[in-house]
A and B are shown apart, each in its own frame.
Chain A
Amino acid sequence: MSLLLDAFAALLLLIGAFFYLAGTVGLIRFPDALSRLHALTKADNIGLLSICAGSALMAGELRVALLLLLIWLMALFAATVSAHLIARRSLRDAEDSGADAGKSPS
Chain B
Amino acid sequence: MVIDVFLALGLVVLAWQALIGGSLFRGIVMFIVFGMVLTLAWAWLGSPDLAMAEAAIGAGVTGALIMIAYWRLRRINAVEPRDPSPARSRLALVIAVLATGLVGAIGLAAVSALTGDATAARVMNETLPDTGLGNPITGVLIVFRNLDTLLEVAVVLAAYIAARAALGRESADLPLPPAPDTPLLTPLVVTLAPLTMVVAIYLLKAGSQYPGGAFQASALLAALGVLLVLTGRVGPAAAANWLTRAGLVIGTLVFCLVGLGMLVIGAPLLAIPGIWAVYLIEAAMMISIGLTLVLLFAGAPGLSGKRS
Contact = CB atoms under 8 A, between A and B. Distances in A.
Is chain A's binding surface mostly helix, strand, loop or mixed? helix
B182 A84 contact: yes
A81 B185 contact: yes
B180 interface: yes
A74 to B, nearest CB: 8
Contacts, number: 15
A81 B186 CA distance: 11
B296 to A, nearest CB: 23
Interface in B185-202: 185, 188, 191-192, 195
B191 A88 contact: no
A76 to B, nearest CB: 12
A93 B71 CA distance: 16
Is chain B's binding surface mostly helix, strand, loop or mixed? helix
Contacts of B192: 77
Interface string B232-243: 000000000000
A88 B195 CA distance: 27
Interface residues of A, number: 7
B182 A88 contact: yes
B180 A85 contact: yes
A88 B180 CA distance: 10
A74 B192 CA distance: 9
A75 to B, nearest CB: 13
A80 B192 CA distance: 14
B123 interface: no
Nearest to B188: A81
A77 B191 contact: yes
Interface in A77-102: 77, 80-81, 84-85, 88
A88 B184 CA distance: 13
Contacts of A81: 182, 184-185, 188
B192 to A, nearest CB: 8
Contacts of B180: 85, 88
A80 B182 contact: no
Nearest to A85: B180
A84 B185 CA distance: 11
B176 to A, nearest CB: 16
Contacts of A85: 180, 182
A77 B182 contact: no
12 contacts: A74-B195, A77-B188, A77-B191, A80-B184, A81-B182, A81-B184, A81-B188, A84-B184, A85-B180, A85-B182, A88-B180, A88-B182
Interface of B: 180, 182, 184-185, 188, 191-192, 195
